[in-house]
Structure 1
Amino acid sequence: MSVDLKAHAVRLRDLHHGEEMLVLPNAWDAASAKVVAAAGYPAVATSSAATAAQLGLPDGEGAPWPEMFAAAGRIARAVTVPVTMDAEAGYGLRPRELVDQLLEIGVVGCNLEDTDHRAGGLVDAGRQAEYLAAVRSAADDAGIPIVVNARIDVFLAGAGLAEAVRRGRQYLAAGADCVYPIGIADERDIAAFVTEVPGPVNANTRPDGLGLAELRKLGVARVSYGPRFYRRALADLEAALRQERAV
């Protein structure tokens, strides 16, 4: 199993540096993950918001971490492509414990965000960089190059581009494989961030924002959808049920 996990981790890391932009429609359970993989996507990412919602719990570490890991494990067992988990802020787990839990369920990547869900606001950038470095060290010790996507929440917190760039550089230097300034939407901000941060950048696509073609031209390496498809599925279900009731 370790050999397979290592191959998956290397494959996932390579996908961040290929000629093609890595597009990740986020899954929330085994069934949705199978649909993503069957559609030809080379990896599956989870959405913490969608996973927590289908458990009947709120995002932002509102669900117990064993439940979230169990859901990600079911996803990893359901597909043959690499799986990366939205691990929120790490659930208070120590770096080695986090890495051990990821590998135990067959997951070879994780998102780690710099929001402090207990105290509120953002985690100090230096403290977050230390945590990322410790996760990288634990993965190295395990012999599996887990892909760490460091989410930068400054736009959600009302801060600006300069702080996002500062954190992005610091997190990459600490050992992150990719940086994710969630909430960045302005084309000029994305272009500046990609130019000023020396590593793969994750961005979002959404109906009212830039599409895949525009993000590709800006040099974005990875694109996430978050809970978008989960919410669309629920909206479709609601519309279908209303139509059935109207007959």
Structure 2
Amino acid sequence: MTLAETAAELRRLHTAPELLQVVNVWDVASAKAIAALPETRAIATASHSIAATFGYADGEQIPVELMLDMCGRIARSVEVPVSADLEAGYGDPGETIRRAIGEGIAGANLEDQLKPLADSVAAVAAAVAAADAEGVPFALNARTDAWLRGNERPREVWIADAIERGRAFLDAGATCVFVPGSFGDDEIDELVAGIGERRVSVIGIGDIPLPSRLQELGVARVSYGPATQRVALGALQDVAAELYAGGRLPRGIRPLN
């Protein structure tokens, strides 16, 4: 498929009746391991995990060239659409999206960091315009940090903020609205009612319901952020501890690389 066709498929997966589960990866080896599963319909990168791979802290500390290069390597290594976590756009959301498309990326997360609404909407609009100029129906998962950076506010305040921002992002051309945080059925129900069915994306951490329940609630997408890399690193550390204690490698290791 062409990139335009791949991006159109990624958009379709976000709005389809079935919940889109994307397991986050951080390099070619992890991407290939996930893509080999028959259930995988798309893959998402985790910016935190890629930054950690290269020794950088999260929060746009990694050079944008390095982030885009790894995202491109991942996209070229698999057949399924790849959605890249591009943080807040590294100072120039439009140009960053344009360069990501050049690397074969079909969609992306773009976070608002709870900046003023007008600035956040302008960033989404710039990203959408850049994709349109490239002729790619890019699947933009516009993220609001209404919970992550603002959950000290009363419940009704952060939910109202997320809904206002989400609607504005959709009006600016975003495909979906990502509201990461640890909350339950009631909050998700309000977000979906306010933003739209199959228009809300969440992260599968903390109190977030299981995928089957998310689908019932009308959620479009669930991803897992840096947690997947932490699981892998935990397994590595555990086997190292076992070896140091005089043990041996487990039997049946799958040659996934």
Q: Is 2:4–2:136's contact at 8 Å kept on the other side of the alignment?
A: yes
CA-CA distance at 1:62 after TM superposition = 1.4
Instruction: Show the counterpart of 1:106.
Output: 104
Are 2:44 and 1:45 equivalent residues in the alignment?
A: yes
| Correspondence 1:61 to 2:53 | no
Task: For 2:192 and 2:206, locate their aligned partners in 1 and report how far apart those are by CA, in whole Å.
Answer: 22
- What TM-score comes out, normalization by structure 1 length? 0.92
Distance 2:102 2:133 in 1: 15
Decide whether the 8 Å contact of 1:184 with 1:190 is kept in 2: no
- Residue number in structure 2 paired with 1:123: 115
Q: CA RMSD in A?
A: 1.3
Q: Determine the structure 2 residue equivalent to 1:147.
A: 139
SS in 2 for 1:100: helix
Alpha carbons 2:199, 2:219 under 8 Å: kept: yes
The correspondence for 1:193, drawn from 191, 194, 208, is 191
Distance in 2 separating the partners of 1:131 and 1:212 = 30
Contact 1:45/1:86 (8 A) holds in 2: yes
Q: Could you say which residue in structure 1 is the equivalent of 2:212?
A: 213
TM-score (norm 2): 0.89
Q: Which residue of 2 aligns with 1:233?
A: 232
**What is the alpha-carbon distance in structure 1 between the residues aligned to residue 97 and residue 162 of structure 2?**
26
CA separation of 1:193 and 1:209: change in aligned 2, threshold 3 A: closer
The percent of aligned pairs where both chains have the same amino acid is 41
Amino acid in structure 2 at the alignment position of 1:36? I
1:184 is displaced (CA, Å) by 4.7
Structure 1 unaligned spans of 5+? 116-121
Greater C-alpha Rg: 2
Instruction: Count residues with an aligned counterpart.
Output: 238
Q: Distance in 1 between matches of 2:81 and 2:208?
A: 28
Structure 1 residue ranges, 4+ long, deviating more than 2 angstroms after superposition = 206-209
Of 164, 176, 191 in structure 1, the residue corresponding to residue 174 of structure 2 is 176
Paired with 1:184 and 1:130, the residues of 2 have a C-alpha distance of 27
1:133 aligned partner: 125
CA distance in 2 between counterparts of 1:23 and 1:112 reads 18
Q: One-letter code of the match for 1:213?
A: S
User: What stretches of structure 2 of length at least 5 have no aligned partner?
Assistant: 247-257
Give the distance between the partners of 2:205 and 2:10, measured in 1 at CA: 23
Q: Which residue of 2 aligns with 1:71?
A: 70
